[in-house]
Each structure stands twice: as structure tokens, then as C-alpha cells.
A and B are shown apart, each in its own frame.
Chain A
Amino acid sequence: MIINLHRKDNFSHTVPKKRRMLSSTIERKTLGFFFLPAGLFMVAFLLFPLLKLVYDSFFAVGDNYEGRTFIGFANYIKAFTSQQFQSGSLHTLVYVVVAVGLETVLGLVLAVILTNKYRGFKAIRTFLLSPLMIAPLVAGLVWKFMLSSQFGIVNVLLVKVGIIQSTDSILWLADSRFSLLACIIADVWLTTPFMMLMFLAGIQSIPESLYESAAVEGANKWQIITKIILPSIKGVLFSTLVIRVIDAARTFDIIWAMTQGGPQGSSELLSVQIYKMLQRYGDVGYASAMAVIFIIVLIGLTLFAQHKQNRD
């Protein structure tokens, strides 16, 4: 399972037979009965909207949802051939790869640093967790404020260090070359602590004896990191990556707060594009087709990852 990590799952894998046989203490009828109330909520607010989306994707829908004509897969063909959808996909891909890549590397470095049990490191860990509680929207607003070319402190600091000449040399949010990067910065700030926490938990489940035998063999710290720590947390690394890839692809709040997808669509991820198309331009059929493609890709990714992990 993707989200179910660590000892719990490993444990249930090592004693499968007895557990699995015993674990059916509830009958099917009771299962249905217990699941029903929660199920109704999910049907009303997730499954029904989803089916509506699929249904709409086969129609050309007029303004205000009035007058619809069945047009088969025409919306899908339109999506695949449209320049806009392609650039949205490209932005999503770039965003996911760069943001998740940076978060993984920084998260790993941080986790290795905090594995040292030095004085004060526990407090540092606690402080590093604070971005985790902040709303993505607030993170976006904070960074919009800090990256502003007029009132932003980031450019002032960059000028003081001597990296740029004047505070309007880099228009983070108004220059189409930098807008996506600006959003990525906010995402990295918001989520690297999550990566750190997951990796740290993985590292903590490495038995002390492994380190000890490595020390006896005369391994140095670098070798311990690359030969023991990294291979041991491969499972955690994979799960965390999957969670983050899907979350990053779905990012909406940060982009909306910082650029709303602009300038000229340069930071428009698919999630933002679909939302705009649905909400502002009213092309429901086409927007639904884009959304369905997007959802299929995400769910495909999820199921593939789950399958892979269950096999391991």
C-alpha cells in the first residue's frame, strides 16, 4: 500500500497467513452496513461529480449548462491536439519533476543531518515542522509578498549580496521565465519538511547493529550514508515520492495565490487550467475531457505504484 509504510506494513507482510485467515471477523452484510454512511458522503461529493465530469466530456455544452449536443470523443481529440493542453501538461511535468526533485534531495540531506543525535537537533526538527501546518494558500501569499518586485525582501537581499543589480532585475511573478520557478520555490519551502520527516522515520527504523558492524569494518560516514542508509530507506523513498508526485501534480492553491497561472499562462498547471476553463470560460465539455485525461493519468500512476509496492 502506498501510504501505509514502515514497520506496520512490513510486519503484516511477514505474518500474512495467520492474520489474513483471522482477519475476516465481519460478515459482508455488516461491511456494507458499516461502510454505507461514509460511502454516501463519498458518492455525493466525489463519485457523482466524477461521473458528471465523464458524462459532460462527451458533450458540447452551451453557456450556463444549457443546450448540449453529444459529440463523442471530439473533446478528447481537441484536448490532445490543443497547444494549450500540451503546454499545461508540460508545465505540470516541469513543476512535478523540479519541485519533487528538489524536495527529495533537500529532504534527504536534512534527514541525514538530523539523524545525528546532537544537542539542540530535536528542537531544530520541531521548528522545521512548522511549514507543514501552514495552508498552501498562505504559503503562496507569503512568497508572493516576499518575491514582489516592489516590496519584496528577496530581491533586496539578492541586491545586497550582489547577485543582481537592482530590485527589478528579476520580476519573479511578472516575468514568464520565472513565474513557474517562483511557485516551485514556495512549494519546496512548504513540503521539504514533510519529506524530511518521512525519511527521518525511515532512517530511525534502521537497526543500530547495522551501523555497528559497519563501524567494525571501518566504514566512514559517507560510506554509511550511501551503503547503509540510502539502500535501507528505498521503500520509504518510493512511497514518499509517489505521494508527493501526485500531490504536486494537483497543486492549485499555491499557483492561484501567486500568479493565477500567469503571465500568459506561463505557470498554468493542468489543475489551474481545468479550473479556469470550467469556472471562467464555461467550456464545460472540453474542460471535462481535459480533467478526465488528467484524472486517468493520476489514478493510473496510483494503481501502478500500489501494485508495485504490494509485489515487493
Chain B
Amino acid sequence: MFHERFGRNKSDNFWMIAMYVLAGIFLLAFVFPYLYMLFSSFKPSNEVISVNPTFFPERWSLENYRSVFQTSDIGTNFANSFIAALVSTIICLLLGSLASYAISRTAVSRFSNFLLVLVLCLKMIPMSSIVVPIYGLVQQFGFYDYLPVLCIVYAGVNMPFVLWMMISFFKEVPVELDEAAAVDGAGPLKSFIRVILPVVTPSLISTGIFTFLLAWNDFLVALLLTSSDAKTVPVALSEFLTSYNLDLGPMTGAAVLFSFPVIIISFFLQRYLVSGMLAGSVKG
């Protein structure tokens, strides 16, 4: 139905042209902001804040990138972002897959149903209201602005998302596999590691990508829990644009550096992204 060739009849031709035009308009509208950012980052800094901005740079320059590295600790910020996102993702996957496997295999029991609903409710909490109590907790133990704590907090706040996604993946794994393993004499933990985990590896990858992105893109938690040593890129980015200074040029450079690798990697891992997106919402 939706894959005719051009030239069969008039109405099909009209439809096809209309679809191409619409698709083109949407493509332009959605890619424009990102391209504008990209091209702006290659403008000299005075051109970025021109009152008559153009789309393409009139003069290409790496000035913005240079000044990001000179005027801020963006390198450290990148390292912090990366470590926090990676370590928290690993913790989440290790503990989360174990827990969600257990829940998915006891779906009938009332206790596991309770856990399931609890996880869902925890997932729906707005971070902006509980991040201050979290801050109080971290402060109390004297762990403010400490990278390992950031990793652990991310692992905690993203755990419901991981559980929720992994449960739906585990439910697709036939129970016969567990039973076969049990017949062969493997305990629950052993059959989980030896038999089940290899089967769900693709799902683990897509859950991992999203969990990584959640921590990598987080702004709020890092805003409250860090100030200098453990500061992440989003917090640094937000500091380029305050009421006191408006460093648009360096901001565009840092934003491109921050988002570009993610987009490139996502292009290659698209298959996992789409399957992950269907199992859980992006912004847990």
C-alpha cells in the first residue's frame, strides 16, 4: 500500500510528491537547530554574537574551541561526566538485571507484584523535588563534590528505569530455558549467569546505552551535588550562560563536543536504540 512506484497514476504521484515535500520540511526543521549550533561553533566569537546572524560562518575559525579549553576545566568535566555515566551504568546493569530477572520469574507472587508497582512509582518521581533531600543526605556524610558519590547516586536514581526495561526483556525469554538449567542442576544464580544473561545480551546493550545517556545528560543531580572537583559537562555548560556572563561562542563549542560523539555512536547502534526505545521511555 505505502510503497508504490512513481508514475502509476495521478493521485499516487501527487501523494508521493506531497510526502517528499513534507518529509523535507520536517527534516529541515528538526536538523536546523543542531546544524546552526555546529556552524556557529566554527564562527569567530564576535560573529557568534552578531546582531545579524548568518547560518554559515563567514570566516571559519577554531577560536571557540580553543577558548573553551583555555577558560574552563572542560577536559576534567568531560572525564567526570564519562566516569560517572560509565560506572553508574555498570552498577545499574549488574544489580538491575539480577533484580529484574527475579521479578520477571515470580510474576504471580503478590510480593513481586508489589515490587513491580513500587519500581514503577519510583520511576515517576520528579527528580527536582527529591534531589534536595538527596543533597541533604550526601552533605550529612561529607561527600559533597565527590565523584564516586555521583556515580552511586546516578546508579540509585536510574535503577528503576533499568529494572523497568529489563523486566520487559526478561519476560520474553522462555521459562523453559530456566527449567532446563534447573534440571541440569544449576541453582538460580548459576542458571542466570550461564544461561539467561547470554540470551539477553542485546537487551543489556540497549538498556546500557539509555542508562549511560541518562547519566551523561543529567543536569539537575550534578548541579546540586558538585561544584568543582566532580563538576560534569552540563553544569559547566549552564555556567556559560548566566545573567552575569554570556559566553555564547565557547558554549556552542562545548555543546557540540558534548553531543556530537553521542549522536555519532547512536547512529551505529541504531538497532539497539530502537528496540530499547520500545521497551522503555527515553527519559526515565
Query: Which B residues between 80 and 139 are near A, CB-CB below 8 angstroms?
Result: 91, 95-96, 98-99, 101-109, 111-112, 115, 117, 119-122, 124-134, 136-137
Q: Which residues of A contact B199 (CB under 8 A)?
A: none
Instruction: Tell me whether A3 and B248 are in contact (CB under 8 A).
Output: no
Given A30-B188, A39-B99, A52-B136, do A118 and B19 touch, yes or no (CB 8 Å)?
yes
Q: Which residues of B contact A246 (CB under 8 A)?
A: 124
CA distance A38 to B163 in the complex (A): 9
CA distance A137 to B220 in the complex (A): 9
Which one, B2, B213, B224, contacts A279 given CB within 8 A? B224
Closest to A41 in B: B156
Given A3-B279, A211-B1, do A46 and B122 touch, yes or no (CB 8 Å)?
yes
CA distance A216 to B267 in the complex (A): 39
Q: Which residues of B contact A118 (CB under 8 A)?
A: 3, 16, 19-20
- How many residues belonging to B are interface residues under a CB distance threshold of 8 Å? 114
Question: Please, what's the 1-or-0 string for A130-154, where 1 marks a CB less than 8 Å from any CB in chain B?
Answer: 1111111111011111100011110
Instruction: Tell me whether A23 and B106 are in contact (CB under 8 A).
Output: yes
Check: B281 CB closer than 8 A to any chain A CB: yes
Instruction: Tell me whether B216 and A25 are in contact (CB under 8 A).
Output: no
18 pairs of residues in contact across A and B, judged by CB atoms under 8 Å: A2-B120, A3-B168, A12-B171, A23-B106, A24-B105, A44-B137, A126-B270, A135-B218, A137-B234, A145-B248, A151-B48, A250-B126, A256-B219, A270-B126, A275-B128, A279-B132, A294-B129, A299-B121
Question: Please, what's the 1-or-0 string for A110-125, where 1 marks a CB less than 8 Å from any CB in chain B?
Answer: 1001111110010010
Q: Which residues of A contact B224 (CB under 8 A)?
A: 279
Give chain A nearest CB distance to B179 CB in angstroms: 6
Chain B binding surface SS class: helix
Q: Which residues of A contact B171 (CB under 8 A)?
A: 4, 8, 12
CA distance A33 to B112 in the complex (A): 12
CA distance A47 to B137 in the complex (A): 12
Given A8-B168, A41-B155, do A28 and B33 touch, yes or no (CB 8 Å)?
no
Instruction: Tell me whether A133 and B278 are in contact (CB under 8 A).
Output: no
Q: Which residues of B contact A62 (CB under 8 A)?
A: none
Q: Bin the interface of chain A by size.
A: 35 or more
Give chain A nearest CB distance to B206 CB in angstroms: 13
Instruction: Tell me whether A31 and B103 are in contact (CB under 8 A).
Output: yes
Instruction: Tell me whether A3 and B159 are in contact (CB under 8 A).
Output: no
Residues of B at the A interface (CB closer than 8 Å) are: 1-3, 11, 15-16, 19-20, 22-23, 26-27, 29-31, 33-34, 36-37, 40, 48-53, 55, 91, 95-96, 98-99, 101-109, 111-112, 115, 117, 119-122, 124-134, 136-137, 152-153, 155-157, 159-160, 163-165, 167-168, 171-172, 175-176, 178-179, 182, 188, 213, 216-220, 224, 234, 237-238, 240-241, 248, 251-252, 255, 258-259, 262-263, 266-267, 270, 273-274, 277-283
Check: A224 CB closer than 8 A to any chain B CB: yes
Closest to B50 in A: A151
Q: Which residues of A contact B252 (CB under 8 A)?
A: 145
Q: Which residues of A contact B105 (CB under 8 A)?
A: 23-26, 31
Give chain B nearest CB distance to A133 CB in angstroms: 5
Q: Which residues of A contact B53 (CB under 8 A)?
A: 151-153, 156
Check: A197 CB closer than 8 A to any chain B CB: yes
